[in-house]
């Protein structure tokens, strides 16, 4: 009967060794799965970050385009307003110059006529 006891112990040791080996294998599998999960999670996080960056870039570019279009329209409107003001001022100055020139021209014609009459009278006398 003494032989049976060592067999039980030996069997118990084998079972313990098997259990320890299974635990180590399970731990190794768990570590491997954790590493795979980390890598997948990291890759997924990177992919999501890239997608979010692309979306944000798209939104920023769209806003910049809208702002540039608005600024361009405002600049065009301001330029048109200023051009109209300059044109009106120029037209007013032109009108003033034409009136002055017309008055001066008539005065010059009158003086020239007067001088010609004087020359004609001098020659006739």
- Whole-number pLDDT of residue 11: 66
Whole-number Å distance between alpha carbons of 80 and 83: 5
On whether residue 113 sits in a domain, the answer given is: no
pLDDT at 24 over 80: yes
Query: Is residue 109 included in any domain, yes or no?
Result: no
Considering the domain boundaries, does residue 68 fall inside one? yes
pLDDT-based confidence at 91, cuts 50/70/90? very high
Distance CA 51, CA 54 (A): 5
Element holding 101 (H helix, E strand) = helix 4-124
Q: Domain of residue 2: give its range.
A: 1-95
Listed residue (122, 102, 104) closest to 112, CA to CA: 104
pLDDT in tens, 35-86: 887 777 777 878 888 899 999 999 999 999 999 999 999 999 999 999 999 9
- Residue 122 inside a domain? The answer is no
Q: What is the pTM of this model?
A: 0.46
The answer to the question of residue 63 being in a domain is yes
Does 102 reside within a domain? no
State the total domains in the chain.
1
């Amino acid at each position: 009967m003494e032989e049976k006891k060592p067999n039980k112990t030996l069997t118990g040791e084998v079972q313990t060794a098997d259990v320890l080996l299974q635990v180590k294998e399970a731990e190794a599998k768990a570590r491997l799965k954790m590493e795979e999960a980390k890598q997948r999670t990291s890759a997924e996080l990177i992919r999501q970050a890239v997608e979010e960056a692309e979306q944000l870039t798209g939104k920023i570019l769209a806003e910049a385009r809208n702002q540039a279009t608005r600024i361009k329209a405002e600049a065009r409107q301001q330029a048109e307003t200023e051009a109209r003001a300059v044109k009106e001022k120029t037209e007013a100055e032109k009108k003033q110059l034409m009136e002055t020139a017309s008055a001066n021209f008539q005065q010059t014609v009158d003086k020239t006529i007067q001088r010609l009459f004087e020359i004609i009278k001098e020659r006739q006398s």
